[in-house]
Amino acid sequence: MSAKVASYEEKMKKSITALESELDTVRVGRANPKVFDKVTVDYYGVDTPLAQVGNMTIPEAKILQIQPWEASMLKPIEKAIIAAELGLTPTNDGKIIRVIFPDLTEERRKQITKDVKKKGEDAKVSIRNIRRDGMDALKKIQKKSEISEDELKDLEDELQKITDKYVAQADKLIEAKNKDVLSL
């Protein structure tokens, strides 16, 4: 792979990585601590990720328990989960917080698959924008006579193949997540 195209491939990889982490936070009916990745708790005036203020365990497939490091954090954790609007209701027994992941309705599953497709489309648009930027940069280099017409054509073909590869990866991720959502 040429050095002129490598930086664009790196950017496309980052788009795929971002899509993967975005899809990890999608709730599919099983207890999954990654659903709380974007939830922050007010910890002595500092917004702190939920995972850093307590221990998360999954005692059963649909139950997630949060054992805060400090008992005083029970209420702030509970408030943060409710404020995140994840469709989950925490219960506080004075020592731990339990979050029960209810079964998803058919309507909710369809909505989640639409959301997943939208996230995937956003990632593919991002990848195509990176390709466009790369094509523009290659054409500028060619205009400066740093590369020949043939080299430009080869580099554009290489960039297109890389783009196709990452778009296909995004499609696979979307398909796998939607299959996961619909199979429960």
pLDDT at 1: 59
Helix (H) or strand (E) holding 36: none
* Residue type (1 letter), 170: A
Q: What is the mean pLDDT of residues 139-165?
A: 88
pLDDT digits (tens, 9 = 90+) for 92-101: 888 888 988 8
Q: Where in the chain is the domain with CATH 3.30.1360.40?
A: 33-100
Per the document, the length of the chain is 184
Q: Where in the chain is the domain with CATH 1.10.132.20?
A: 3-24+105-183
The encoded tokens of residue 111 equal 């909505």
Sign of CA dihedral 57, 59, 61, 63: negative
Report the CATH architecture of 33-100: 2-Layer Sandwich (3.30)
pTM for this model (two decimals):
0.72
Phi, psi of 67 (to 5 degrees): -105, 100
Query: DSSP letters along 39-72, please?
Result: -EEEETTEEEEGGGSEEEEEEETTEEEEEESSGG
pLDDT digits (tens, 9 = 90+) for 54-78: 888 888 878 889 899 888 888 888 8
- Contact call for residues 15 and 168 (beta carbons, < 8 A): no
- Contact call for residues 157 and 131 (beta carbons, < 8 A): no
The encoded tokens of residue 99 equal 């979050």
Backbone φ/ψ region at 43: left (φ over 0), alpha (ψ -120 to 50), beta = beta
Q: Which fold has domain 3-24+105-183?
A: Topoisomerase I; Chain A, domain 4 (1.10.132)
